[in-house]
Structure 1
Amino acid sequence: MSTSLLTQLKEMTKVVADTGDLETIRRFRPEDATTNPSLILQAAQQEDRRERLAVIARESADIDEAVDRVAVEIGSEISELVPGYVSTEVSSRLSFDREATIKKAHSLIERYAKNGVPAERILIKTASTWEGIQAARALERDGIRTNLTLLFGFAQAKACADAGATLISPFVGRILDWHKAQNPDGDFSGDNDPGVASVKRIFEYYKAQNYATIVMGASFRNVDEIKSLAGCDRLTISPALLNELDEEHGTLERKLSAKSAKVGADDALSEQEFRWAMNDDEMAHDKLAEGIRKFMADQKKLEELLAKLRQ
């Protein structure tokens, strides 16, 4: 009997669970796990967490502290189930504030340390704005590892690697969403998927430049996108798609390899060049702004939930 595609994928790519659900993590045994405001909100709404959340909400000095404590508590639980990284996101409110992002990251790392989780197990996530990338540059110098998320454009990827980020999360599915909206009748199957093409380009560029930054494809809409990126450093996958991969059998072909990288050298981007490139890339500009808004909307819902529990 042939092995599942998930088993084969794990042999060429580190599989990461894109969820805060502990049962899913136990079942699929991923290398790492990623969370974001939307996933933390989902985990916080689980009935078996409600009593504990009420305690946290009432013990915290304010809602901001309560949100951080919830994120770190869920992240600490996840850290016991995966051998690698756990990603925890800085508030989207800070996406354009370098200094506040740095301060918040240190605070989250300190909270993890109190829970017995060392800094080297945590990736601090921040949006791939210019300010977020520069915050990551400073944090990496301080020994705090980072995950640059909401990444849609090549300029973002270049700047993240130049900043020495530990990992980036280019969003495959949201890029596809944008192109489908612009061209509803277009053929986006297989290698025509613009999100897949974006990650391939970034992967090959990083390997050609010998960047240590990890490329982790994220935000998948279907298993075909995942199959097309087999061999990428890491792929963070939702529970539904992990299940599909686990149930499907056959032969999974490696699609990405460092040996195929043939991109020439390139200079680092200045702030002006970065901002112009983002302004010139309509898709990346639109999806970055939209992503920040969506994450912030879910954080506000979590804040409202915790505020009710404080009463």
Structure 2
Amino acid sequence: MKQTALAQLQQFTTIVADSGDLNAIATLRPLDATTNPSLITAAAMQADNQTLIQDAFAQARREGYQEDAFIERSIDILTVKLGVEILQLIDGRVSTEVDAALSYDTNATIAKAKELLALYQDYGIAQDRILIKIASTWEGIQAARVLEAEGIHCNLTLLFGLAQARACADAGVTLISPFVGRILDWYKKAEGVAHYPIEQDPGVLSVKQIYQYYKQHGVKTEVMGASFRSIEQVLALAGCDLLTVAPNLLEQLAATERDVPRLLSPQSNATADLDAVVIDELSFKNEVQHDLMASQLLQGGIDGFIKARQQLHQLLANATAHAEIMA
């Protein structure tokens, strides 16, 4: 019997579940898992997680938080509690995101990362099982530089091009999450194209370029492709260090029987001819600002995560108001 596409892919790529759904993670049993504000908000709406929400409220009350600060602290506690639940189902790491509203504030990002880690440590979780997830702005990357120097591992997200990847390499971050599907979506809309052959998919090509640059220049930062629209995109990056995939696509991979060749490897650098560059703040911001795709998607991603957190804030505010009425 031929192995499934997922089983073959797992022979040379670490598969990560891109989900906050505990039931899906329990079923899929990935090595690692990633979350973001949208996934946390979706998880908070599930009936199975209402006890976690009430526990978060209780802890925030014990700590003396009130009004908006109470809700914001409850969000952080809930986010970590979900991370703890995920870690009980997997053997590897979970990525937990810093509030996207802090994406342009280096010091605030560092402080929030340490707050989240302190919560994990209170629940008995070792630091090496946590990746602090930070948007790949210049300020976010510099926060990651400081955190990494202190032994705190980071996952730089909302990454859409080589300028961001180079800055992350220079900062010595543990892992980057270049987005595939959002890049494809942008080019389809911008160029009025309904479909790209997989070998011309701009999101896939972007991740390949970053992977090849890193391997050519001996960069230790791990590359984790993210934001997939199809299993074809996933399989086109077979061999990438890690791939974080939504449960519905993981299920499709597990149900698909086809040969999966390894398309990326540390030795496959024949087309990687870009010089190693240490990028400074001015050149970083110039490159990102002059790349319309990268600049729009970076800011749009930050705005989307801020909106998701605001939705979660309102959800929890409504929940606590309802509990007070019923008391």
The answer to whether TM tops 0.5 is yes
Does the 8 A contact of 1:157 with 1:202 survive in 2?
yes
Q: Which amino acid aligns with 1:122?
A: I
Percent same amino acid at aligned positions? 48
Asked if 1:301 is matched to 2:315, the reply is no
The 2-side partners of 1:54 and 1:217 are apart by 35
Q: Which amino acid aligns with 1:206?
A: Y
Asked if 1:280 is matched to 2:290, the reply is yes
Does the 8 A contact of 2:135 with 2:157 survive in 1?
yes
Equivalent residue runs for 1:117-156 within 5 Å: 117-156=125-164
Which range moves more in the overlay, 179-188 or 3-12? 179-188
Per-residue deviation at 1:58? 4.7
Does the 8 A contact of 1:54 with 1:306 survive in 2?
no
Q: Aligned residue for 1:52?
A: 52
The 2-side partners of 1:193 and 1:169 are apart by 17
Q: Which amino acid aligns with 2:136?
A: S
Which range moves more in the overlay, 47-56 or 285-294? 47-56
The 2-side partners of 1:63 and 1:185 are apart by 43
The 1-side partners of 2:273 and 2:227 are apart by 26
Q: Aligned residue for 1:263?
A: 273
The 1-side partners of 2:195 and 2:22 are apart by 37
When residues 59 and 307 of structure 1 are mapped into structure 2, their CA distance, relative to the original with a 3 A threshold, is farther
How big is each residue's C-alpha offset from its partner over 1:154-204, in whole Å with a ceiling of 9 and x where there is no partner? 100000111001000000000000000012236512111000000000000
Which range moves more in the overlay, 173-182 or 23-32? 23-32
Asked if 1:90 is matched to 2:90, the reply is no
Does the 8 A contact of 1:58 with 1:310 survive in 2?
no
The 2-side partners of 1:11 and 1:214 are apart by 17
Does the 8 A contact of 1:95 with 1:132 survive in 2?
yes
The 1-side partners of 2:317 and 2:137 are apart by 30
The 2-side partners of 1:273 and 1:46 are apart by 44
Q: Which amino acid aligns with 1:276?
A: N
The 2-side partners of 1:27 and 1:263 are apart by 42
How big is each residue's C-alpha offset from its partner over 1:69-92, in whole Å with a ceiling of 9 and x where there is no partner? 000000001111111110000001
Q: Aligned residue for 1:19?
A: 19
Q: Which amino acid aligns with 1:286?
A: Q
The 1-side partners of 2:245 and 2:212 are apart by 21
The 1-side partners of 2:285 and 2:52 are apart by 43
Does the 8 A contact of 2:135 with 2:302 survive in 1?
yes
Per-residue deviation at 1:267? 2.3
Query: Normalising to structure 1: TM-score of the pair?
Result: 0.98
Give the 3-state SS of the residue equivalent to 1:16 in structure 2: strand
Q: Aligned residue for 2:246?
A: 238
The 1-side partners of 2:163 and 2:265 are apart by 22
Q: Aligned residue for 1:219?
A: 227
Give unmatched runs, 5+ long, in structure 1.
none
Q: Which amino acid aligns with 2:300?
A: E
Q: Aligned residue for 1:42?
A: 42
Does the 8 A contact of 1:54 with 1:309 survive in 2?
no
Q: Aligned residue for 1:103?
A: 111
Does the 8 A contact of 1:57 with 1:307 survive in 2?
no
Q: Aligned residue for 1:5?
A: 5
The 2-side partners of 1:238 and 1:156 are apart by 24
Q: Which amino acid aligns with 1:49?
A: N
Q: Aligned residue for 1:176?
A: 184
Q: Aligned residue for 1:253?
A: 261
Per-residue deviation at 1:264? 4.8
How big is each residue's C-alpha offset from its partner over 1:93-148, in whole Å with a ceiling of 9 and x where there is no partner? 10000000000001100100011111110000010000000000000011100000
Give unmatched runs, 5+ long, in structure 2.
322-327
The 1-side partners of 2:10 and 2:157 are apart by 22
Give the 3-state SS of the residue equivalent to 1:260 in structure 2: coil
Q: Aligned residue for 2:325?
A: none
The 2-side partners of 1:267 and 1:56 are apart by 45
The 2-side partners of 1:51 and 1:146 are apart by 29
Q: Aligned residue for 2:120?
A: 112
Q: Which amino acid aligns with 2:131?
A: L
Does the 8 A contact of 2:160 with 2:294 survive in 1?
yes
The 1-side partners of 2:51 and 2:221 are apart by 40
